[in-house]
């Protein structure tokens, strides 16, 4: 996944930096909230149940802070395959969510932060690199 951002117009919400659509932002927030509600770790079964509830349109939330929905209970619907392809897989690859192969559990991770620091250090290394002497013919 590629994150493009304008440092002069950086949103306050990390989800708005990472995801392209409002629907993706809502679903990602709901996923993180659900994991937090389970002490920061859920199993494959809970993840599958969450994705199925989304797919069937049976997930009800009052977490949405957007003006037309604020304070109201709203049914959320999101395709199960798109959930895995556009929400969960990118969150795993960026280090926001960790998957433990042995315990078969998903957990919230701080690896995203560490990778952002590493990317910043790579940039510092690049700007400190000496100029290449290009031979002109």
Distance CA 134, CA 5 (A): 32
pLDDT for residue 70: 83
The answer to whether residue 96 is domain-embedded is: yes
- Residues 43-100 pLDDT 10s: 999 999 999 999 999 999 888 887 888 888 899 999 999 999 999 999 999 999 999 9
What value does the mean pLDDT of the chain take?
92
Percent of the chain clearing pLDDT 70 (strictly above):
98
List the 105-108 sheet strands across, edge first.
Answer: 41-43, 105-108, 97-100
The answer to whether residue 3 is domain-embedded is: no
The answer to whether residue 137 is domain-embedded is: no
DSSP reduced 3-state for 12: coil
Distance CA 109, CA 122 (A): 22
The answer to whether residue 50 is domain-embedded is: yes
pLDDT for residue 69: 81
Number of structural domains (the chain) is: 1
Residue 116, pLDDT > 90, answer yes
Length of the chain: 137
The answer to whether residue 133 is domain-embedded is: no
The answer to whether residue 94 is domain-embedded is: yes
Percent of the chain clearing pLDDT 90 (strictly above):
76
The answer to whether residue 6 is domain-embedded is: no
Q: How confident is the model at residue 128 (pLDDT cuts 50, 70, 90)?
A: very high
pLDDT for residue 137: 61
pLDDT for residue 71: 82
The answer to whether residue 135 is domain-embedded is: no
**DSSP state, residue 88:** I
Structural domain for 59, as ranges: 12-128
pLDDT for residue 18: 93
């Amino acid at each position: 996944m590629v994150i493009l951002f304008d440092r002069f117009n950086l949103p306050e919400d990390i989800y708005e930096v990472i995801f392209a659509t409002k629907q993706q932002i809502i679903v990602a927030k709901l996923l993180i909230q659900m994991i937090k509600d389970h002490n920061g770790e859920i199993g494959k079964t809970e993840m599958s149940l969450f994705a199925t509830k989304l797919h069937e349109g049976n997930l009800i939330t009052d977490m949405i802070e957007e003006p037309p929905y604020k304070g109201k209970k709203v049914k959320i619907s999101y395709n199960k395959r798109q959930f895995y392809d556009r929400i969960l897989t990118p969150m795993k690859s960026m280090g926001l969510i960790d998957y433990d192969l042995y315990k078969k559990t998903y957990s919230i991770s701080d690896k995203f932060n560490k990778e952002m620091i590493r990317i910043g250090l790579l940039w510092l290394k690049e700007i400190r690199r000496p100029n290449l002497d290009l031979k002109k013919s």
